[in-house]
Structure 1
Amino acid sequence: MGLKLGNRHQKGGGGGVPTRWVSFFCISSFFLGVLVFNRLWGVLDPVKIDEENSLVKTWQKGELLPSINCEKKETSTQVGEIFDQVSETHDVIMTLEKTISSLEMQLASARAAKASNQGIPAMVTKLRNKQLKDRQKNLFVMGIMTAFSSRKRRDSIRHTWMPQGEDLEKLEKQKGIVMRFVIGHSAAPGGVLDRAIDAEEEQHHDFLRLVHVEGYHELSSKTQIYFSTAVAQWDADYYVKVDDDVHVNPGMLGLTLARHRSKPRIYMGCMKSGPVLAQKSNKYHEPEYWKFGIEGNKYFRHATGQLYVVSKDLATYISVNQHILHRYANEDVSMGSWFIGLDVEHIDDRTLCCGTPPDCEQKAQAGNPCAASFDWSCSGICKSVERMMEVHQRCGEGDGAVWSTKF
């Protein structure tokens, strides 16, 4: 046993590398690595070393200081140019995005129109398409929501901020501003109420009639049909909804809207978030209050109903999807709900909801005229029939303002 173990040990020792050779190889490898590293350093970095030496010498002589100042000036100029280019690029991107959005909505609208045209003769369809192409491009269409019982309110507007007769037509052709009172028909079509509106239209030619049955609890439906009808009848950048007890300065409104022309998907108004009212006795009772969480919750942010504006692509969106858009009890809430989940810019503009005198008057005197005025406490101008002229005289932009304003 002892002999075998000794023989195995001798074989294993004879087959290994002696310790002195291991030490020799380690030392040799170290010096070889140092030699290679120095050779590579000498090949790669002479230029860099020379540059650094040259910079140090130049700095010591003081020759580098003037060039530094010059570079700062050039850098400042370059930064300014870069900011200008960024700003221009941003504008181009915004315009391109608006164009793409508009094309998408036009495509959706065309698909909807094609579906609705099925079964209609080809000649009629071609005539419709030609009429759409030949339409004038307008800045905005304003729909003034009114009721059968509001004849005096309509007259108060006609006598103040809304042009009449040839001036109304001229405003559309020259300034691209369309104004119409918006109303549907009664539950008994052709009855006394409808005939009264027909006679009024014959006299003033300032109505947009909707295929809709009038009713206070049908305002969400009426608003939806208004936008769908307006976008089909007029080509405009914006579509405005306003109540018939609100004072409007059309020129100021046009200037306000023109500032946002390059932006796509605009929803503008005085944004608010009021409480969800569950009590049935309340005028603004919300039957579907449970959808908004626990009692006492507030609505999502939306524009107050007295006046709000949507861009063409959003009006088209409403038109295309009108059959599946949910309608809540309050039309301004419905309007806001239709844009949840969409890439829409909400613009909160307080010039669209000034108070009546002295508020709007003081703002006008300070050089900040209002686009629209009403009393929050009355959700419109309190006793608007009697006070519309007073508000117009004290807060109006002047009868010639809309004609001299460039949009």
Structure 2
Amino acid sequence: MSEWLESAIARGQENQDWLAPKRAQALDILANTQWPTRKTEAWRYTPLKAVERSSAKALDRVSGLTPVAIPNVSAIELVFVNGQFDALQSTKTLPTGLTVQLGQDLSSQQQAEALRSFSNVKPERHLFGLVNDVLASDVLLVTVAESIKIAEPLRISSLLSAGAESHTRVLVRLEKGAQLAVIEDVQSQGDSLSTAFVEYDVAADASLEHYRFALQTGSNLTIGGSHFQLSDKSKMHSTIVGFGSELSRLDTDIIHAGEFADAKLNAMYLLDGKELFDLHATVEHAMPNGTTEENVRGIVADRARAVFNGRIHIHRDAQKTLAELNNRNLLMSNKAEINTKPELEIYADDVRCAHGATIAEIDKQALYYLETRGISKSKAQVMLNFGFINELIDLMPNEALAEWVRPIIRERFAQMEVK
């Protein structure tokens, strides 16, 4: 076991609050968990040396850290600063049917009910999910009442100052027939380490629109997860946009726990320099008549490394399942690296499933042609590559968010050179 993990366990043992029963369960598992190495399948291409040598530490909330504004998007703001919920920057007046509460503010009976839901959607196999169970100082509980449709998106922002360590946890519950859009984003100043996990429990006939923007770069270490449980006839549409950093890892789980559930996941990542981005997505079809459509696209330049593992598991009782997984990648350098592993594990016999992965290089002849027509190399790259990603941006349900992220991605393209 690494010194970093031993330290995390020791710190977790010191906390004795309403989360103690769940924390004890996570500590028991961690005590018997081996620190990942290159021989650990889930971490084969993502070394954790940067975590082991990290000097990030818990810091107090500091003034001056505010979420980046998103033009033309009016959102219900939930803000964490250095791992602590910031009530001053968070929206105080909530729409009817939406409740937001810290676990420490609940009655003992409410805390007991919350404990039954906490860490039930996120699978126990996630090492840093267990670390988050142990080190999270509290849980933010978000509930949308039955049949309530929340018009404005809910934005969960985690802000970190330089050198800060943060472990945030949110549990979102949509009751029957409810509708909600959620934006998750982490903003780091540098040399920070964070785990940010959100669990979504989507009841029957409910609908969730989800976004996760992992746009931190540089020396930041960010490990997190978005985990979804779908009930009968529930729907979710998730969009993930990721840049690389010294270590950026995201685990996503979609669990079809009800019939006729529908899930869509679109993910895109753009990496440059020596950055690393690792996306592990698992879909569990446990009930019949479910549908999943998963599209993942990546562009990797310079010496950057991308990792994608996409697994779709069709259980024996999940008849009439329709599931598709497509991963397409573009290499802009002969020193860039992409490790992709799409998986289908099927135990039902009446299903329609497909998966595929492609890795290609940028068309250098087309690039040369545009340059000979007086177009700069950076602009030519944007012209050739933007359509590859823009197709998924066009599928974002929130047009204002799509218009916000497009210029950010264009600027990112302009910095990535073909080598």
TM-score grouping bracket, smaller chain normalisation: under 0.3
Q: Please identify which structure carries the higher helix content.
A: 1
Q: Please identify which structure carries the higher strand content.
A: 2
Tell which has more relative contact order, 1 or 2 (C-alpha 8 A, sep 6+): 1
Query: If the length of structure 1 is used for normalisation, what is the TM-score?
Result: 0.21
Query: If the length of structure 2 is used for normalisation, what is the TM-score?
Result: 0.20
When Rg is computed on C-alpha atoms for both structures, the one with the higher figure is: 1
